[in-house]
Amino acid sequence: CDALFRPGRYAARVLVARGAYAQVHRCSLPSELGTLHSSEVALKLVDTPLSTHDPTSAVDVYAEIAVFEALAQSPWVAKLFDYGVAGESFYIVMQHYPASLKQWRTAHVCGPGAGERAPQMLLYLSVYSQCIQAVAALEQYGVV
């Protein structure tokens, strides 16, 4: 498998988040994948299971990849660019976003005046509508 996926293309990494069985890094976009407006991608590394009793399995990882591929045309889902296995990790390379929805919302604090809240409320309702559409797209594939 190492011959089919070259993790060295994603060498310049900055850790974004770490969980019990995976970590997400931000890294430079390899030139051969340069089809985005951004020059960065999100690189998710999922630990390979050490035994059949481990909570993460290849089936789980490839089920996640299958969802990305099934929803490739949806504007509500991050784009999948590459994936593979190398060393002790599964790699999933996807579109990078500069902030999570929670980070974005926290940065948009309304002022005390009602006049300032109305335009913000329209923006929030628009974003909420997009979130509902994303969940609906996932529901069509039995994800939620």
pTM: 0.79
Identify the CA nearest to 108 among candidates 130, 117, 62.
Answer: 117
For position 16, what pLDDT does the model report?
A: 92
The answer to whether the beta carbons of residues 42 and 17 sit under 8 Å apart is: no
Compute the radius of gyration of the chain from its Cα atoms.
Answer: 18
For position 36, what pLDDT does the model report?
A: 54
For position 114, what pLDDT does the model report?
A: 54
110 φψ region: left (φ > 0), alpha (ψ -120 to 50), beta (else): beta
For position 142, what pLDDT does the model report?
A: 80
For position 103, what pLDDT does the model report?
A: 87
Cα gap 14→93, rounded to integer Å: 14
What is the residue-level pLDDT of the chain in tens, covering all 144 positions?
Answer: 556 788 888 878 999 999 888 999 999 876 665 555 557 899 999 988 887 777 777 888 888 899 899 888 888 888 999 999 988 899 999 999 888 888 888 887 666 655 566 778 888 899 999 999 989 988 887 877
CA 50 from chain centre, in angstroms, equals 25
Q: How many CA atoms lie within 13 A of 13 on its CB side?
A: 16
Longest Cα–Cα distance in the chain: 60
Joined tokens for residue 67? 């969802």
Q: Tokens 């490839």 correspond to what residue? A: 62
For position 25, what pLDDT does the model report?
A: 94
Cα gap 15→26, rounded to integer Å: 6
For position 107, what pLDDT does the model report?
A: 83
Architecture of domain 7-98: 2-Layer Sandwich (3.30)
The answer to whether the beta carbons of residues 58 and 51 sit under 8 Å apart is: no
For position 115, what pLDDT does the model report?
A: 59
Identify the CA nearest to 134 among candidates 50, 80, 82, 67.
Answer: 67
For position 31, what pLDDT does the model report?
A: 67
Return the domain boundaries, the chain.
Answer: 7-98, 101-133
Amino acid at 56: T
